[in-house]
Structure 1
Amino acid sequence: MAYQWWHCDWGTRETRERRHSKRGKDGALVVKKGTRGWSVDDIAGEAERRPGHAPHVINPHPLRMLHGMTPSEAAKKAREWSKDVQTEVVSKSGAKRKRGLRSDAPIMAAGVISLPAEMVEDWDAYKAVALEYLIEKHGPRLLSVIEHLDEEHPHLHYYAVPLAGEPFDAVHAGYAARRAAEKAGEKAGDILKAFKAAMSAEQTVFHERVASRFGLMKDGPRRLRLDRAEYKARRAEEAARIAEKRAERARAEADKEQARQKALQTAGARIGAGVVGILKWAAALVGVEIKTTSEKEAVMKAQVRKAAGAVRAAQEAAKVAQETAQEAAQAARAAGMREGYSEAEAQAQAALRVERRKTEIQRRRADEEKAAREVIEKENGELMAQLDALKPRGERSVFSMR
């Protein structure tokens, strides 16, 4: 089942071991250790795949930046911000005084946005939408966004730091809600509820703005608590939804390609008319007559035919994507209605058909672009030759560029 994955934590100045308490079977309170609180340097080391910081990655890839600075530079900015932050402390006697942040206080928000491995073909579009959302959400506080493709699921990491004079609440909604509950004198359980409610609201916003555009569900199967039949039915609906979203994007790409081809045709016609006009004007100066040959007319007609072929190919890709979406929907519905039917096989076949069509279209487009470049280079050579022929005897032509 494909569902969204967005998580936001934070980094501190120093690495420390966290403790949490839990009631045992006998009702006694047990304090456990081992949960690690990451420092900003730990986070940057894992993101940049420094030796010893990413043992879980078998074949680490070089750092791939999507926005802003490196994670190490973001960590440095976070430390600089923390130096100017002062907190108010009340002693047992009631006296108030100012002091700097504790070593375990959060100074940098660190988030992860991931996409299921089976949807890797949508990753480029997904990360573009997610990056746009992050920039709009955090603005200048968003210091770094990087991409990781060396683990099972493609994902990106982002790091945000408050502006000068702002509290950490400005970059982490859950922490802001927790601090507000603490100031209001709420109990520990209510403080935790406030934190979870704020983060759940963030999940909802992310789903509306990003994940839902790609057919992803907001909650995973464990939270939904579905039985086998409901789970298979939900997967069927999800497969149909994802296929439909892909078809919509294919139609949009086809429309964009058609508009691009029309713009190229219009620009080509204008440039051609301008060049012919210059040649005729230059020919009139030296008494040379230039005529349009049937060969050039044939080349122009061939270019028009190629442009029309590219538009038809884009429209055909959209049509294939729509048919694939319908096939996936039918296969998914059948999988949800009867036990034992593997909708994964139908989805795999549909995905393979789409990939083959995309490969064919890309190859055809590359051939057309290569042929168009050859035609343009040939015409440029002919034009330069004609301009050179216009030079008056004994003088340099005003058109000569040598």
Structure 2
Amino acid sequence: MLAGVLSYPVALADMNECSRADYAVWETRSLRWLSGRYGDTLASVVRHEDESFPHLHYFIVPRLTSDRRLDLEAVHPGIAAREAAKRDGKSAKEANRDYCEAMRGLQDDFHAYVGLFHGHLREGPRRRRLSRGAYLAEKRNAKRRAETMTKAEGRLTELEAFKLAAAGADKVQHRAELLEREVLDLREENRTLTLEKADLVPKLEEAQGRMEGYRFDASQTAKAFAMLVALVTTGRDRCRTALLSMPRPRQVGKDVWQRLQGFLTGDDDDEGMPFERRRRSYERE
């Protein structure tokens, strides 16, 4: 496991509302830097306020190499530089120098990504042998530069938001055009269906009329057949009268209906026997 510390350079005792707000932004930037640099090997980040300066402890769990060892070179730039120097045949002193240079590069990267936006200087006054006045002047310049960079970053964020909004507007416009075309197509389809319906309505009404006629004819035929059966079995005159007064059902042929009429009026039937004699023969049987 690899562990590291990121420290905010304002003491807890000296922090006010403004510096606490700045610390919150610093912490967010630091977390983004850690996540971007270490990815899914970043296991944990813990804030500590148990010392004079607030700081973050972070822990890295490297992946395993092919021989089941922790791949420290992938997450520790100093170790990676030192091992590369050894493989190149450099001396221990040169390897250590490469190690220190790589670690300074790590600090430079953090300062460029986080510290610059908060007016933090990369090195203190003692290391650079600055007077207090020069150091304070440089801090003021760094603070103004940080404010400018923060404003620029805000403008960039606004610009990106505007671009996204513009892209969203273009998508909405494109979608609106598609929907408008769909509406036009649906209107045309509706017009076609309306015309087809206008053509089908008379045909449907005609078919319904024919169906009603068929139903009426079927009922008339059934009624005539029932009356005929009643007449043959009972011989009642009212059944004969009802049959004679009925119109010919369309389902009954003209010849059949004429022969039935002759049978009912007493004319000879198809076997030459009058109706009354035929009925009496039925009764005797």
TM-score bucket (shorter structure): 0.3 to 0.5
State TM-score, norm by structure 2: 0.46
- Higher strand share goes to which structure? 1
Using CA pairs below 8 Å that are at least 6 residues apart, which structure has the higher relative contact order? 1
- Higher helix share goes to which structure? 2
State TM-score, norm by structure 1: 0.34
